[in-house]
Chains A and B, each alone.
Chain A
């Protein structure tokens, strides 16, 4: 058999070829137009191929050529600020070649192969280097130094290395055995990149969203799932994470979702300032956009393309956050391909290997010691789109079995315009234990205890609300009515956070702590005042409390909040005398 075969059958994105020698996951060129595809199954002498472009008009008998490569991404300077499709073709290049509509049969380099980057060697001639070791630096964007590493499978003694201006395919370093190292390397997307060891996460990914950081924190190197019905806030949450979280690198995958949402990111990010560096957000961002109307097989590949890029930056010692919106579309792509293969379906038509694929994907998250000996992490946050919002379905369940953080979006809250519409009663994070020390050391000694008090109040509220539904709130004793007011304050002042507000969309973690203390101060002051005879209504309506609550919409709140709390406490104290 040869490298070249012919098409035997075409059924949507799945093409069968005969007469071609092929291995699993080989990349092939299909038909006269040379459409890109990947071998996904072998049957005797037939190779089944998923094709990454539209197959209309292709006929049996057209050629199929095996490139002998496996599906890989190109890694090197030029990744940042770029937007790719699911198989790493840069969308701006596609626009240049094809115009505004994506046609097919066009190949495009992942980045500009001509562009010269200033390479600064950090090892010297004679140094023994191993796979993954950093040998040089390139200032890729204003904020990010791109570290050039020895490809993971290579090692030896440096024979020659030079600083200077090079393009990504020029050799910058030669080893004694003659192997040459360029700034660009390739890595097969379906294989995790190697590292020395995995560590238990101990640092939170600070997101600036109060409900996440305070109640359900995610660790750097951890994994979180965000399931929710349409319109509940998956995309806004993911975009907020991309904007504000304190990751050094962000990989944002738009997987089978809306085109305009990617456009929005493209419009906004170059102008938005990263609160952590003060520089435009785009500097740290790589985007992958395989929207719902783009070929379904490339959608399947897009999450692997994304996570491989994330691992690559992790290997440089960076904290990387990857958002995939939505993993359900990836799972559906698997289902579609699987059904074309006439595989025996598992639950709801998904292939039987669905949950293992989901688990393998999230397992690529983690905090690691890199092969260079640095600390790096990949945090993965996957949106899940359960049909009808019912999370008993296979993708949600497969995700919940593996992730340690569950941010459950709730249609009811979204309908009340309570945003982020994360349900505080059923969401969870399994990380607080491992992160408590960090919060004690870096924010406040009593941080974990305050968290417990706040979430305790929300629990009590839920129980009280059941009674209120039956008898009305006036029938409750006043101390319970006060508890309801405190809980309302937690919800409206603390949990609610408009993702589009100029000031409040991002809340510093220290400010989060101050705000939570402010609520407890209110509770305390109100309790004392009421014990001394004050009326609940007067206590709740002191003007300074309203001012305190509105303060979060103003800049500089972190400096004024303590005084505002004092004024509130004084005014509440005064309601006793008024009485």
Chain B
């Protein structure tokens, strides 16, 4: 089939090209389009029938006219994968962007990715120490988890992601992650920030980058994360690597989806995003995990910016329904000058329960984390009340909790960008800070841990 060039385009609309009078074309088949000036664009079949074929063009349809030549490549989109992907920088369609040679394929992998059989999964349970207290204590990351960062424009989510990439390790092990970094529509400046940081720390040699920037074709963003995840799967499940996939910004990805849906005149779902966006996102996020009989793993750190800081916006909302928790970045904390400005209250790690405790982190972790959380939550709530009735109306307990909420932000949350706290340091710090509250109010702490870890008893 490959080779035959059709000049039967009937319509061009948004990112879509419609053509007819083709021989049978496969659903999902890869397409190249040759323009009059000799330049080439790529695309993929979205709808196919005897009468009409609809092609989504990754690079946008600018300059395509009815004389353009369309060739069907006979196969669905595949990425040449190889161990040599490590240390390389590719563009959003998988072509070298670092001036290096083409990837010599050990295998050509279908980028859609097959679903992992739920029966074949293994429950993640290995604690990853990120060195960031708020995460390690309150929303503990587990190897094989998909844990997004819900952020918003102007907030330091990139710094946090990079700090995690630099510091993440299994407790008591030096084993490093391979980072697969996937940029979707971010600015060149943001990209350079990531790249130079990875370069500075030497992590670039252990990373594979897939880069689609703000001025690259928007529709290409549909495939960029699929390429990155295909590479990640290959490295994890064929070569036993522990892979950390960071992708940013999911919001740009979703906007590209919306653009295609609109061009197809689909019935839009909420805020114009396609009704199938949940499924589409799941096909990315669910490519995290650990499977039976394979040594490697895929941990995902998607970053998304919430339009209008709104967590109910379809992008964070649908993501939260799929991922195994979320880390929420707060503008308010950021404005108070706190880094990392993580609001632990709406943050959650759904897998935390499986990776904390005596055998993995420390016996008091659960108890401490519950108490830190509860005390901070109550303290924060009291701030609202104080604003109305004044601090004098508070009883002793409430006063202590109110003060604690300040200390929590100032000493527990706040740490520097290169401060790598061990889990023991984090938990000891928790005890130190909680000791400002009378123990009779610390009802979530087990008596036995109070006896063992409370500074009053330790001395």
Binding site for B on A (CB under 8 A): 8-12, 16, 54-62, 83, 91-92, 94-95, 98-103, 229-231, 254, 256, 258-260, 262-264, 266-267, 289, 291-294, 296, 329, 332, 335-336, 339, 345, 348-349, 385, 387-390, 415-417, 469-472, 474-475, 500
Q: Which of B28, B320, B377 has the most CB of A within 10 A?
A: B28
Other CB < 8 Å A-B pairs besides A59-B26, A256-B282, A469-B385, 11 of them?
A56-B110, A59-B24, A59-B48, A94-B119, A260-B123, A292-B282, A294-B115, A335-B275, A388-B313, A388-B314, A474-B393
Q: Contact flags (1/0) for B342-355 with A, using CB distance below 8 Å?
A: 00011010110100
Q: Which residues of chain B have C-beta atoms less than 8 A from A8's C-beta?
A: 49-50
The answer to whether A293 touches B283, judged by C-beta atoms less than 8 angstroms apart, is yes
Q: Contact flags (1/0) for B100-126 with A, using CB distance below 8 Å?
A: 000000000010111111111111100
CA A262 – CA B123 in complex, angstroms? 10
Q: Which residues of chain B have C-beta atoms less than 8 A from A16's C-beta?
A: 49
B62 interface hit (Cβ, 8 Å): no
The answer to whether B114 touches A83, judged by C-beta atoms less than 8 angstroms apart, is no
Q: Which of B6-14, B128-136, B262-270 contacts the other chain? A: B262-270
Given contacts A91-B119, A292-B286, contact A332 B278 (CB under 8 A): yes
The answer to whether B119 touches A83, judged by C-beta atoms less than 8 angstroms apart, is yes
The answer to whether B278 touches A56, judged by C-beta atoms less than 8 angstroms apart, is no
The answer to whether A260 touches B289, judged by C-beta atoms less than 8 angstroms apart, is yes
The answer to whether A102 touches B117, judged by C-beta atoms less than 8 angstroms apart, is yes
Q: Which residues of chain A have C-beta atoms less than 8 A from B348's C-beta?
A: 231
Given contacts A56-B112, A472-B385, contact A83 B279 (CB under 8 A): no
Q: Which of A91, A263, A332, A475 has the most CB of B within 10 A?
A: A263
A230 to chain B, nearest CB (A): 4
Judged by DSSP, the binding face of A is mixed
The answer to whether A59 touches B25, judged by C-beta atoms less than 8 angstroms apart, is yes
B84 to chain A, nearest CB (A): 23
The answer to whether B353 touches A56, judged by C-beta atoms less than 8 angstroms apart, is no
CA A92 – CA B120 in complex, angstroms? 8
Number of B residues, CB within 8 Å of A? 73
Q: Which residues of chain B have C-beta atoms less than 8 A from A258's C-beta?
A: 286, 322, 324
The answer to whether B115 touches A293, judged by C-beta atoms less than 8 angstroms apart, is yes
Q: Which of B151-159, B180-188, B291-299, B448-456 contacts the other chain? A: B291-299
A542 to chain B, nearest CB (A): 13
Q: Which residues of chain A have C-beta atoms less than 8 A from B459's C-beta?
A: none
List the 10 closest pairs (A to B, CB-CB), nearest first. Answer: A9-B49, A292-B282, A388-B312, A56-B28, A91-B119, A100-B120, A101-B114, A293-B286, A230-B320, A59-B24
Q: Which residues of chain B have C-beta atoms less than 8 A from A100's C-beta?
A: 116-117, 120, 237, 291-294
Q: Which residues of chain B have C-beta atoms less than 8 A from A83's C-beta?
A: 118-119
The answer to whether A92 touches B26, judged by C-beta atoms less than 8 angstroms apart, is no
B358 interface hit (Cβ, 8 Å): no
The answer to whether A415 touches B377, judged by C-beta atoms less than 8 angstroms apart, is yes
Q: Which residues of chain A have C-beta atoms less than 8 A from B124's C-beta?
A: 260
Q: Contact flags (1/0) for B277-291 with A, using CB distance below 8 Å?
A: 011001100110101
B27 interface hit (Cβ, 8 Å): yes
The answer to whether B50 touches A291, judged by C-beta atoms less than 8 angstroms apart, is no
The listed residue (B113, B118, B276) touching A254 by CB distance below 8 A is B118
The answer to whether B123 touches A339, judged by C-beta atoms less than 8 angstroms apart, is no
A430 to chain B, nearest CB (A): 29
Give the residues from 1 to 42 in chain B that come closer than 8 angstroms, CB to CB, to chain A: 24-29
A248 to chain B, nearest CB (A): 25
Q: Enumerate 24 A-B pairs (CB-CB under 8 Å) in ascending A order.
A: A8-B50, A10-B49, A11-B46, A16-B49, A54-B112, A56-B76, A57-B26, A57-B75, A59-B27, A59-B48, A61-B50, A91-B118, A231-B326, A231-B348, A256-B282, A258-B286, A258-B324, A259-B118, A260-B121, A293-B286, A336-B279, A390-B312, A417-B373, A470-B389
The answer to whether A339 touches B320, judged by C-beta atoms less than 8 angstroms apart, is no
The answer to whether B377 touches A417, judged by C-beta atoms less than 8 angstroms apart, is yes
Q: Which residues of chain B have C-beta atoms less than 8 A from A56's C-beta?
A: 26-28, 76, 110, 112
CA A57 – CA B1 in complex, angstroms? 13
The residue in chain A whose Cβ has the minimal distance to the Cβ of B374 is: A417
The answer to whether B115 touches A348, judged by C-beta atoms less than 8 angstroms apart, is no
The residue in chain A whose Cβ has the minimal distance to the Cβ of B279 is: A296
B47 interface hit (Cβ, 8 Å): yes
CA A294 – CA B417 in complex, angstroms? 40
Q: Which residues of chain B have C-beta atoms less than 8 A from A469's C-beta?
A: 385, 388
Binding site for A on B (CB under 8 A): 24-29, 46-50, 75-76, 110, 112-124, 237, 266-270, 275-276, 278-279, 282-283, 286-287, 289, 291-294, 312-314, 317-318, 320-322, 324-326, 345-346, 348, 350-351, 353, 370, 373-374, 377, 385, 388-389, 393-395
The answer to whether A95 touches B119, judged by C-beta atoms less than 8 angstroms apart, is yes
CA A369 – CA B130 in complex, angstroms? 58
A32 to chain B, nearest CB (A): 11
Given contacts A293-B286, A388-B312, A472-B393, contact A348 B118 (CB under 8 A): no
Q: Which residues of chain B have C-beta atoms less than 8 A from A11's C-beta?
A: 27, 46-48
Given contacts A60-B24, A296-B276, contact A339 B266 (CB under 8 A): yes
The answer to whether A60 touches B324, judged by C-beta atoms less than 8 angstroms apart, is no
Given contacts A10-B48, A293-B283, A387-B270, contact A61 B117 (CB under 8 A): no
The residue in chain A whose Cβ has the minimal distance to the Cβ of B377 is: A416
The answer to whether A292 touches B279, judged by C-beta atoms less than 8 angstroms apart, is yes
The answer to whether A348 touches B324, judged by C-beta atoms less than 8 angstroms apart, is no
Q: Which residues of chain B have C-beta atoms less than 8 A from A230's C-beta?
A: 317, 320-321
Q: Which residues of chain A have C-beta atoms less than 8 A from B112's C-beta?
A: 54, 56
The answer to whether B48 touches A9, judged by C-beta atoms less than 8 angstroms apart, is yes
Q: Which residues of chain B have C-beta atoms less than 8 A from A266's C-beta?
A: 118-119
CA A294 – CA B348 in complex, angstroms? 25
The answer to whether A349 touches B116, judged by C-beta atoms less than 8 angstroms apart, is no
Q: Which residues of chain A have C-beta atoms less than 8 A from B318's C-beta?
A: 387
CA A54 – CA B46 in complex, angstroms? 13
The listed residue (A264, A336, A417) touching B276 by CB distance below 8 A is A336
Given contacts A95-B117, A260-B289, contact A57 B270 (CB under 8 A): no
B28 to chain A, nearest CB (A): 3
The answer to whether A61 touches B385, judged by C-beta atoms less than 8 angstroms apart, is no
A30 to chain B, nearest CB (A): 11
B213 to chain A, nearest CB (A): 28
The residue in chain B whose Cβ has the minimal distance to the Cβ of A55 is: B27
The answer to whether A345 touches B267, judged by C-beta atoms less than 8 angstroms apart, is yes
Given contacts A59-B26, A231-B348, A293-B282, contact A259 B289 (CB under 8 A): yes
The residue in chain A whose Cβ has the minimal distance to the Cβ of B121 is: A263
Q: Which residues of chain B have C-beta atoms less than 8 A from A94's C-beta?
A: 117, 119
CA A348 – CA B268 in complex, angstroms? 8
Q: Which residues of chain A have C-beta atoms less than 8 A from B345's C-beta?
A: 415
B29 to chain A, nearest CB (A): 7
The answer to whether B267 touches A292, judged by C-beta atoms less than 8 angstroms apart, is no
Q: Which residues of chain B have C-beta atoms less than 8 A from A103's C-beta?
A: 114
CA A259 – CA B336 in complex, angstroms? 39
Given contacts A10-B27, A10-B47, A472-B385, contact A263 B270 (CB under 8 A): no
The answer to whether A95 touches B76, judged by C-beta atoms less than 8 angstroms apart, is no
